[in-house]
Structure 1
Amino acid sequence: MTTTSQQPPKLFWFLPTHGEGRYLGTTKGGRAVDLPYLQQVALAADSLGYYGVLIPTGKSCEDSWLVASALVSITRNLRFLVAVRPGLQPPTLAARMASTLDRLSDGRLLINVVTGGDPVENKGDGIFLDHTQRYGVTREFLTIYTRLLAGEKVDFQGEHLHVEGAELLFPPVQENGSPLYFGGSSEPAIDVAAQQVDTYLTWGEPPAQVAEKLAVVRARAAARGRRLEYGIRLHVIVRETEDEAWEAANRLIAHVDDETIARAQDVFSRMDSAGQARMRALHNGSRDNLEIAPNLWAGVGLVRGGAGTALVGNPEQVATRIREYQALGIENFIFSGYPHLDEAHRFAELVMPLLNAGQRRIRSVNTGPFGETIGGDQRPVAEASAS
């Protein structure tokens, strides 16, 4: 099933709390990801008109809740997509945290439900459940969590979780709590999505594969009388010309050696995440044939877990590919690029106008597409001719 709607998409950016730099897989060109830098990225996303930012979760990242709490007061409109972790947090604690941050941000909190797909990391967090059991925990977690956010007093006895007289004394700003985002490609994950979340997320596979997956999720949700929103997680490398974009893509992995790729792929192979397996299958750890669909490049996934593909091209090409995903029913696009501060501006300036999205909010007279003042007192009136 496809849709012909071409409404402006919801465009998200990414806060790189796991590290940042100009190249992947190396310390060369690395940047310190401290609070001032994260503030710069958040303020850029807010002022450029991004709908929200995704904050990653896991032992390789700074804590997403603390980062969001540090940034809500300096932003005005930006939404924060923050993870709850079934099995790692009790649902009652997660509900209190979500309600508090929703109030502190005046309703700008979004929730990313993350079950976790790395057995080694899970064991380090005290979670010794298999894949199916973890999704059983997720279903019970969300049953309790959503009822609490809806204002109910909850008694619940499940296979994994048990609460008596659980309640939330201070309600969130958003009615029934913040919208729930969730990704997962396995059968248990799709069942959770169809029954319990608001927006289903996929990683950036070629459009045909995305269409096939969304058709399954859409049918599963419809069988339960539900209709979901859909989103996709991608990197982006956009330049004024296609050649420049592909040069930038190749430069991004220029310092990655084969040993680094092999070590990364060994880590990814131990994971029981169906989505991660699908990402690996796009390149199989090889540098050959990384353009897996028009303007879709799998090079990021050679060394980065999770989202491993990027849209690469000139502004018109990138906008065209986004519209192709929109035609599949995707409304939410979570982008990132290296370095994230620079690329947030580049994408906003080159692509957002083509999508009628993320317009700058003009607050003073010395803004807008004027260019640099000429000779101290003249505004440029047209693009200068090449000479």
Structure 2
Amino acid sequence: MSTRDDALKFAYWVPNVSGGLVISNIGQRTSWTPEYNRKLAQIAEKAGFDYALSQIRFTAGYGADNQHESVSFSQDLLAHTEKLKVIAALLPGPWNPALAAKQIATINHLSNGRIAVNVVSGWFRGEFAAIGEHWLDHDERYRRSEEFIRALRGIWSEESFTFRGDFYRFNEYSLKPKPVNPQPEIFQGGSSRAARDMAARVSDWYFTNGNTPDGLRAQVEDIQTKAAANNHKVKIGINAFAIVRETEEEAKAVLQEIIDKANPEAVEGFAGQVKNAGKASPEGEGNWAKSTFEDLVQYNDGFRPNLIGTPRQVAERIVTLKEAGADLVLLGFLHFQEEVEYFGKHVLPLVREIEGARARETVVAG
């Protein structure tokens, strides 16, 4: 776990859906089963990870034929760990904020405050159609998510909560017991204007897709400027897929194999869905607006931060992401259990070493 308040935080994607985190036929030793994930959570906790992020899927697609529900799965991981925080994905529409607030408050007590939530606004129209949920226009989905977050906060903090929104209504609602303080952290993703503006108003954390340091810096400056104007503070998490090997050549060979064995039909299908979602935003951009075929082999542009190489190379690039404004790196791996353990032994100590050296340089320069 991170020891300094300004230390970069680390999270990993919980593989609670089948198929791993790449749309490729390359062999993977990752499993979506509860047994595998319980052991993985314990490995990650020991390795020094701060958070685990469970995924929410309702329908099969792009290799994810099986999906465990995020909230109940998160609770199971919490029951098998002692310090790790678990972020459960919630999707407004299927979830009502009253149910979500009560679920999370209870898990908050069961886990001694280690549950957090990731409010997902939704991009897959076919999934909503499959489960009979009304599909909203792009910015309307973010307006609903913002009301959802405001409702969670109000229910968790106010003795008698009344709210009159366009999507949710509450009349003197009192939830007891409330979560132990501090309230559960609220994460959110998206790269559109609506997503960034929502983060700058209400979210504790903003997740962005993988990006270069310069691209990340531009996003962070945009969000933090708006957040400051709103008298709000938000932290930034960036997605990345790590391939760490003893040599750079070996790491690059693994990346090339992933891409060479990509499932073209599945990647193109995913690309069509996500790019249509992005084009639906008023500015015509979303999370995957500039993603190439190779980028989309990893769902969330995880190759773009280039965490591909030796432990020293990856550690230096991670600290560069921190200097660009990242407070957390959300990681995916090919073979989760062994690679999370390797990352904890060989990369995290170097990150802390480089962080300390840069901090001392700053003090001397100041």
Question: TM-score scaled by structure 1?
Answer: 0.80
Percent identity (aligned) = 26
Q: Residues 251 and 198 of structure 1: is their aligned pair in 2 closer, same or farther, counting only changes over 3 Å?
A: same
Deviation at residue 117 of structure 1 after TM alignment: 1.4
CA contact (8 A) 2:240 2:301 kept: yes
> In the alignment, which residue of structure 2 is the partner of 1:34?
33
| Structure 2 equivalent of residue 154 of structure 1 | 161
Distance 1:15 1:281, change over 3 A: same
Asked whether the equivalents of residues 138 and 277 of structure 2 are also in contact (C-alpha less than 8 Å), the reply is no
Q: What amino acid maps onto 1:8 in structure 2?
A: A
Deviations 1:289-331 (A, max 9, x none): xxxxxxxxx3xx23x4334425111111111111111112211
Matches within 5 A, 1:194-343: 194-272=200-278, 277-279=286-288, 281-283=290-292, 285=293, 287=294, 298=295, 301-302=296-297, 304-309=298-303, 311-343=307-339
Q: Distance in 1 between matches of 2:258 and 2:344?
A: 20
Q: Which residue of 1 aligns with 2:197?
A: 191
Shift of the 136–258 alpha-carbon distance from structure 1 to 2, 3 Å rule, reads: closer
Shift of the alpha carbon at 1:256?
2.2
Equivalent of residue 116 in structure 1, options 114, 118, 122: 122
Per the TM alignment, residue 223 of structure 1 is displaced from its structure 2 partner at its CA by 0.6
Q: Going by fraction, where is helix more abundant, 1 or 2?
A: 2
Worse-matched range after superposition: 239-248 or 308-317: 308-317
Question: In the aligned structure 2, how far is the partner of 1:100 from the partner of 1:128?
Answer: 30
Structure 1 residues 214, 45: CA separation in 2 closer, same or farther (over 3 Å shift)? same
For 1:122 and 1:67, how far apart are their aligned partners in 2? 21
5+ unaligned residues in a row in structure 2: which ranges?
Answer: 61-66, 354-366
Amino acid at match of 2:175: L
How far, CA to CA, are the matches of 1:156 and 1:187 in structure 2? 25
Report what 2:145 is aligned to: 138
Report the 3-state secondary structure (helix = DSSP H, G, I; strand = E; otherwise coil) of the residue aligned with 1:253: helix
- 1:305 counterpart letter in structure 2: Y
| AA matched with 1:282 | S
Conserved? CA contact 2:205–2:236, under 8 Å: yes
Aligned residue among 337, 348, 352 for 1:356: 352
CA shift, 1:267, in A, is 3.3
Counterparts of 2:5 and 2:247 in 1: how far apart (Å)?
Answer: 25
Cα distance, 1:254–1:109 mapped onto 2, change above 3 Å: same
**1:103 matched to which residue of 2?**
109
User: Cα distance, 1:82 vs. partner?
Assistant: 0.9
For the structure 1 residues 334 and 31, does the alpha-carbon distance in structure 2 shift closer, same or farther, using more than 3 Å as the test? closer
Q: How many residues align?
A: 337
| Offset at residue 344 of structure 1 (A) | 0.6
Q: Deviations over 1:169-213 (max 9, x none)?
A: 1111233x2111111222221221111111122111111111111
Q: 1:339 to 1:20 in 2, by over 3 A?
A: farther
Correspondence for 2:74 = 68
Q: How much does 1:6 deviate?
A: 10
User: Is the CA contact (8 Å cut-off) linking 1:336 and 1:344 kept in structure 2?
Assistant: no
- Change over 3 Å in CA distance of 1:109–1:278 after alignment to 2: closer
**Residues 31 and 235 (structure 1 numbering): CA distance in 2 closer, same or farther, change over 3 Å?**
closer
CA contact (8 A) 1:22 1:29 kept: no
The residue aligned with 2:186 is: 180
- Work out which of the two has the higher radius of gyration on C-alpha atoms and give 1 or 2: 1
Q: Which residue of 2 aligns with 1:379?
A: none
- Give the AA of the match of 1:317: Q
Separation in 1 of the partners of 2:173 and 2:5? 43
Alpha carbons 1:24, 1:256 under 8 Å: kept: yes
| Paired residues of 2:56 and 2:70 also in contact (CA < 8 A) | yes
**CA offsets 1:153-175 (integer angstroms, 9 cap, x no match):** 11222222112122211111233
Choose 271-280 or 108-117, whichever is displaced more: 271-280
CA distance in 1: counterparts of 2:301 and 2:53, whole angstroms: 12
Aligned-residue offset at 1:334: 1.0
In 1, Cα distance between equivalents of 2:112 and 2:78:
9
Equivalent residues in 2 for 1:2-13, closer than 5 Å: 7-13=6-12
How far apart in 2 are the matches of 1:22 and 1:202? 16
Supply the AA of the counterpart residue of 2:257. R
Range with bigger deviation, 243-252 or 19-28: 19-28
Report the residue type matching 2:74 in the other structure: A
SS of equivalent residue, structure 2 residue 145: helix
Distance in 1 separating the partners of 2:343 and 2:191: 28
Instruction: Measure how far apart 1:28 and its partner are.
Output: 4.8
Match for 2:134 among 113, 127, 143?
127
Aligned partner of 1:47: which letter? Answer: K
| Separation of aligned partners in 1, 2:239 and 2:149 | 23
Structure-2-length-normalised TM-score: 0.85
Instruction: Give the Cα separation in 2 of the matches to 1:85 and 1:257.
Output: 28
Map of 1:372 onto structure 2 = none
